[in-house]
Amino acid sequence: MSSPHPIANTPDHSGLPDSILQILTGMLPPSRPMALHEPVFGEHEAEAVAAAVRSGWVSSVGPEVTAFEAALRGITGAAHAIAVSSGTSALHLSMMGADVGPDTEVLMPAVTFIASANAVSYTGAIPHFVDAEPEQFGIDPVRLRHHLQDIAVKRDGLLVNRITGRRIAAILCVHVFGHPARIVELRAVADEYALPLIEDAAACLGSRQDNRHLGTFGSIGAISFNGNKIVTTGGGGAVVTDNDRIAARIRHLATTARLASPVGDFVHDVVGYNYRLPNLNAALGLAQLTQLDAFVETKRKLAQRYKDAFAGLKGLRVVTEAAGAHSNYWLNALVLEGPLAGLRDNILRVTQQAGILTRPLWHPLHRLPIYQGAPRMDLSVTEDLHARTINLPSSVSVLGAPG
Ligand SMILES: *Cc1c(COP(=O)(O)O)cnc(C)c1O
């Protein structure tokens, strides 16, 4: 008779989706649907938002915004934190802070949420897709260097893509699922080519590499506080940087580029943005931040739970952090080995029908019609990861009691 965990690398893998469902059903609490990632709120959060309403400070300035920025400086160790309306606006401001502009190229992965590429495109720049490494899904620094050796030339002191003739303006590194990408090596490549390194650390509050917070390895980092991240402000984001000039410029751009005036005149020196975080949202964020350490701990426990639960099942691996990393394990992920990739959609269907909201990896960005013409290197690892990866429910509430 069949054991509860049939060995998957036998010729017949058809039992694997059911085995995976059985494991998930056994370890997840019974509430259905079980979201991929939902926020956890207690009375503390409700009180904080109510207090902000009562204070009258609900909009884009207020004491909670100031306190939230100070708390973010404390957590990340960055000299500056600018609270903004979303992770996407944080990324857009980061691009502008790094002088990414029209008809330049930004080296970035195709394994990411669309917002990373949107931010590049908003500036008129063009994403130039580079491949991922298969362990933590970040840009592969070795192959990035080889690619640059292949296509990059110096012209009039600028780094240029000799195939397209466009200036290469920056590297945008994405830390996927909360795990540090190979950021120390990526920083070395960026330095070698004198390129600004921008980090999409959108999902990475509380994640560190070598005891240093993500978002602080490059010149600018972007964080998100969307409802699906480890800590939420409802919607929101932040830019972190150690560079005083960049911080001042980003704050200025985020605040409609309004100049100081002794009589409160409305004078703006460039086209600016209304990208500041409202005080209401900052109040919620501040209340959430008091639980960040506990959330990270719970999510790391959940990741270990998944690792143990799937250890007996051959033919798949659970994505884990690299050496020296302390990940917030934002999203857990299963990677199907070898021919088992063919079962991905079946596993997604079986689990989703049971109310466990698993999800495939983001569709590779270079395969979206809007980016079909974008320059790229060989993206076979990206394609392969997309075919084999399944995200698993990862909310703090899966293990922890709310509040
Ligand atoms: C969430 C996320 C974003 C966008 O953040 P928003 O606050 O939703 O705009 C960008 N990049 C990655 C990798 C993300 O996970």
Tens-digit pLDDT profile for residues 136-174:
999 999 999 999 999 999 999 999 999 999 999 999 999
pLDDT tens-digit readout, 60-94 = 889 999 999 999 999 999 999 999 999 999 999 99
How far is CA 285 from each of CA 13, 72, 89, 276, rounded to the nearest angstrom? 45, 10, 17, 14
Is 141 within 8 Å of 163 (Cβ atoms)?
A: no
Residue whose CA is closest, atom 2 of ligand 1? 202
Number of neighbouring beta carbons within 10 Å of residue 72: 26
Who lines ligand 1 at CB under 6 A?
A: 86-88, 112-113, 115-116, 174, 200, 202-203, 224, 226, 237
Which comes out higher in pLDDT, residue 21 or 3?
A: 21
pLDDT tops 50 at residue 101: yes
The answer to whether 229 touches 256, Cβ cutoff 8 Å, is no
For ligand 1, atom 4, which residue shows the shortest CA distance? 87
Output the CA 123–ligand 1 centroid distance in Å: 17
Task: Ligand 1 pocket test: pick from 137, 226, 228 the residue with the most ligand atoms within 8 Å of its Cβ.
Answer: 226
Kindly indicate the confidence band of residue 14, based on its pLDDT and cuts at 50, 70 and 90: confident
> For residue 12, what pLDDT is reported?
75
Q: What is each CA distance from 205 to 71, 94, 112, 327, in whole angstroms?
A: 12, 17, 17, 9
Distance 46 CA to ligand 1 centre (A): 24
Whether residue 15 contacts residue 293, with contact meaning beta carbons closer than 8 Å, is answered with no
C-alpha of residue 203 to centroid of ligand 1, in Å: 7
Which stretches within 290-333 are classed as H helix?
292-310
Atom of ligand 1 nearest to the CA of 235: 7
